[in-house]
Amino acid sequence: MSSVTGVSATDELPGPDGRPPLSGDAASTGRVGDRIFGGAATLSGVVVIVLVSLIAVFLIVQAIPALADNSANFFTSREWAPGGDNPRFGILEFLWTTVTASTLAMLISVPVGVGVALFITQYAPAWMRRPAAALVDLLAAVPSIVYGLWGLITFSPFFKPVQGFMEDKLGWFPLFAPTGISGGTIFFIGIVLAIMVLPIVTALSREVFDQTPLAHKEGALALGATKWEMIRTAVLPFGRPGVISASMLALGRALGETIAVTFLVSALADGSPWTWSLFNGGETFASKIANNAAEFSNPSKTGAYIAAGLVLFVLTFVVNSIARVVIERRKAFTE
């Protein structure tokens, strides 16, 4: 199973006799076929690394001149007025909106997705498993514009009273303070993103849960574990690295999701006051860039947007590295 973190549950599995899997050139026989295939695989690997590096270089090179001209603090300013004689721009608002909406999406989609995956693999009757799994895979392939349309036309009217209720009862808490904005709030976008990435979390988690060795499940059951205890002692620990990979893939999609978010967000007027509220509007990195693609009129202006894109790039990178570390720390315990 591929993943954005490059880690999967089966990565480190030793062979049947307990040896580590053959890696590097150890298995090569030096024959022509081996050398051709080995060369082709190496080339593909190198191409990926070079591409990612070039993208990073491109972003940095294009962003630096604009950043040098910037007279506002890039990280702490909420202004966005790139280009012109005195460009002032900062990413604080986009960072806040992107991170909170995506975090909210994860908080909803990971537990629900794991639950759905457990249902399909452990609880659903046998006749239902394959169709349910196929359905989830299908949902994962639905283009995001469809989720955007659905969110705007169908879900938004349902959410308005919910938001009203929450503002009414929980408005004393800064995150839920009323702002007068309804529709494309951070909270609403978080929910739409959650629904959008839910099939990804579910599909990948289902895949790993399904691979839990019967021996481990029986081991737990034979100790007198109930079904839930068996899942807790055998299935969940086995699937943990896979669930983390799935979440990262989903988070990557949520952070960078453009079209559905562009469709839904309520952009804030310039100079509107700062608030911690999730019921505020605001642009994400991706939606801001997409909404203003027509404005890339001069290098300085374009550079500002590319700098914002660079932050998104680094953000995804950092998130994936953290996931990698989390998985690595428990590696000795994943067989």
Instruction: Determine, following the binding rule CB under 8 A, whether residue 326 of this chain makes contact with another protein.
Output: no
Question: With contact defined as beta carbons under 8 Å apart, do 293 and 316 qualify?
Answer: no
As measured in angstroms, the least distance from the Cβ of 123 to another protein is 13
Instruction: Determine, following the binding rule CB under 8 A, whether residue 16 of this chain makes contact with another protein.
Output: no
HSE value, Cβ hemisphere, 13 Å, CA-based, for 102 = 26
Instruction: Determine, following the binding rule CB under 8 A, whether residue 127 of this chain makes contact with another protein.
Output: no
Given candidates 226, 298, 318, 328, which one binds another protein under the rule CB under 8 A?
Answer: 226
Cα dist. 302→49, 98, 293 in Å?
A: 26, 20, 9
Nearer to another protein (CB atom), residue 57 or residue 128? 128
Coil vs helix vs strand at 81: strand
Residues 202-221 that bind another protein (CB under 8 A): 213, 215-221
As measured in angstroms, the least distance from the Cβ of 214 to another protein is 8
| Total of residues contacting another protein (CB under 8 A) | 25
Given candidates 68, 126, 153, 293, which one binds another protein under the rule CB under 8 A?
Answer: 126
Instruction: Determine, following the binding rule CB under 8 A, whether residue 68 of this chain makes contact with another protein.
Output: no
HSE value, Cβ hemisphere, 13 Å, CA-based, for 78 = 14
Instruction: Determine, following the binding rule CB under 8 A, whether residue 40 of this chain makes contact with another protein.
Output: no
Nearest alpha carbon to residue 311 among 108, 45, 66 = 66
Given candidates 234, 254, 260, 319, which one binds another protein under the rule CB under 8 A?
Answer: 234
Question: With contact defined as beta carbons under 8 Å apart, do 190 and 278 qualify?
Answer: yes
As measured in angstroms, the least distance from the Cβ of 322 to another protein is 20
Give me 175's structure tokens: 């995150």
Instruction: Determine, following the binding rule CB under 8 A, whether residue 329 of this chain makes contact with another protein.
Output: no
Environment class of 300 (CB within 10 Å of its CB; exposed 0-12, middle 13-18, buried 19+): middle
Nearest alpha carbon to residue 107 among 258, 278, 274 = 278
Residues in the site for another protein, rule: CB under 8 A?
126, 213, 215-226, 229, 233-234, 237-238, 240, 330, 332-335
